[in-house]
Chain A
Amino acid sequence: MLQQSLGASLTTSGGKKNHYTLQPHTLESLQNCVSFCHNNHLPLQVGDLPLSSLYFSEKPRLILDVSSFNAVHHFPVDDLLITVDTGMTALELQKECEAQNLQYPLWFPDNWTQMDILLSDQPSLETGFLGYPRDTVTATEWLSPDGGISHYGGEVVKNVSGYDLNKCILGSHYQLGLITRATLKLAVPPEAEHHYWLEISSLEEGYGYYQSLSHADKSEGTTPFSLKRCELLFRNSHSSPGTNGLFFTLSDSLDSLEVQAKRLPGDVLKLSKASARKWMNTLMKQSSPIRRGENPLSKTHELTMTLEVCLPPLKVFKWLHSIVNRPEIKPFGLQWRMAAGLIYFHLSCLEDLSSFPFWFEQKEALYKHWGGTLRMIQAPDSQGQLMSELNQAPHPLTRQLMQQWVKTIDPHQIFTG
């Protein structure tokens, strides 16, 4: 009966009896589903962004499956824009674009949905060069928890008409509802992309190498390195060979790439497309809260937690030096998106759970003295509450205002649990 009134199919999922998946096929039935939960104060899980302990628990709940919302709504190729339903996955989007010889500028793992990407404003490997997902959005359709729909923007690249509701919903982690449709800016793809791996033995070495890659621009007459991704991976000095290094991508015309390749140092390893793709997948999954395709009830994530620090890019190295010897973060694995100033710490939960107070303290210090931000993007289930506390805006009044806004939009907390 519920199925009929909501216009969505209802199935049990994940082999768990008390987990029900709702799969609406039209916007109207999606609206119905959301307002049904709103009216009945039922928690509703959408997407794969664990927000609270709800995501992990075995408590009864509804899961919203938006996979049938994956159509291309409008594709004005001339304007380099595309309007899609946000159930569309990254792979589907890239395929649509490729057909017109275009490209969505940010690369994401194949099965991630636009909804997850946009609502987490997830930095991609290209973010230091091409911006955040929020920079690529010109219009959204926003379904709020009460079932209301608002629109903002259009197929225009510049817009100050009224309050920017796009900015409001993008990156809101489902706290304010769903983005059901979005207009995205596209780019003309480069002729080719070449991926490289360079083994390093210390952070200094990696940083120095990145600088030589990005600063080589200044010398006259040489082709600059057209860097598109540059990620430094570092476990610690005792880790096995092959794990510490710099993954980077150059993208340009074939001729130019050939010239650039000659100027790379000899010990650089050129990666095949397939292995680069594998790398990119791992790098993205490690640096994101999106757990698409993972079993939420598996216990693997109990073992690690991941923190993200963002600083002005040129300050990162100095900051790292200031904390690198702190006992709380050893042993650590580090992933550094150099151009964006993003660093991800992969910590082992077994040993580092006690370090939470340290990170609260660091967040404060980062905010006050370094102008940076800190958030936890993956944490053990048991720490869900602590994690969401850590991830709030640091200024108390700002935090209060944000909470008030969430409460106005979603009074029964159907999304946040």
Chain B
Amino acid sequence: MTTDINAENLADSPFDLLKACIHCGMCLSTCPTYRVTGSEAESPRGRLYLMKHLDMKHRGAESGTQTNERITSATGILPHLDNCLGCLSCETACPSGVQYGELLFKTRKDWVSHPRTFWYPLQRWVKQLIFSHVLTHRKWLVSGRHFYKLLQRFGVFSWLKRLTWARSLPWVGPALALAPVIPHRYKPLHPGLSFGNTSGERVALMLGCVMDAVYNHVHWATIQVLVENGYYVYIPEQTCCGALAHHAGEEAIARDLAQQNLVSILHSNPDWIVLNSAGCGSTMKEISKQFAGDTVFEEKAKHFSEKVVDIMVLLTKKPLRPMKKRLSMTVVYHAACHLQHAQKVRLEPEAVLRQIPGIDLIPLSEPELCCGSAGIYNLEHPEISADIMALKRLDIIKTQADVLVSGNPGCLLQFAAGLRPQTTEEKPIAILHPIELLAEAYGYRGYLPQ
């Protein structure tokens, strides 16, 4: 056919990625925010459409040409983009291969300084502070944990929860609703520690922030299972993965953190960089994209990304050593969005779980649905998040399972709060990281609730 049209004409600039969207609408039914709000402005297709208009306005302003998009404004558009969980289930559903995440984070980055509301600059300042100065300091996190335990012991949270004004505060209220009961066991982990036989493949374990502060025992379970399977596990020098900053569009912070990790972790010469937190994992895996075109780091970042692997995927690389203990229980697996949609890890976790003797894995009817956690989304958008949780809850409760497992601390926190039995007849469900079940099956104790 004689024609001047071909695929190469498209996609020269990142925003031409928008053209890949043919407006078919296949993404709608999978989008959690669309499901709960009913509004197409809160759907991937709607957001892409708005991004397109934002882009056209932007370009129109730059080139001085007038566009006919006079009715919309950036201030009106941006909240809809902020309302996105970033779960990327739309990418899984999209038949045209639209790189929604890429477009969303790019737009968020470009417009991060645009004030949406009066309080936005302040909010942003607080977030920046947290992203670059709190989450990056392990000392802060660990002492924060101890302080939190102390408050918990004195019943400060349950007292605060009773105060209406406290519950209505932004950030604080939703945080109170989430406030997890942190387990007593805490065995500190720090760079320099190593476990297992040095002859095994070298596995660098990323600790993360929330994971270490709240779910420190999951790290121990990870180490135990890996050592059982002949890996050499060590804790490299590291800082925060920068996922939260990246998702919020604070690219400068994210890049700085990524660079630090890149240098220090690669320096330790790992065979694998393993994560048990899906959110961190997806960001780390995409480091190569962050540094694409960078003269110094491009190669390194590519090398780095290739080594990043989720714990459940790593466990499928070699046959697992047989597990001794039989766990007779019914289990549902919630696939974290950053695992199933962002990292496209879909089959491995369930394949690993099925090898645990005695486990009955019950499928969910909507396995692709997000739980509403999405990093700090549940703090910023508590209502939407709660509505999404309610949808997810119905699906999970229906299964009558004993245990829910999920490979992401955000999801675990969200479920701990959202799956509390609402009536006395309702069966309580234990919420665990999948690796905890494996550790238990290998004979380690204390991971299952009494």
- Contact between A and B in the complex (any CB pair below 8 Å): no
Interface residues of B (CB under 8 A from A): none
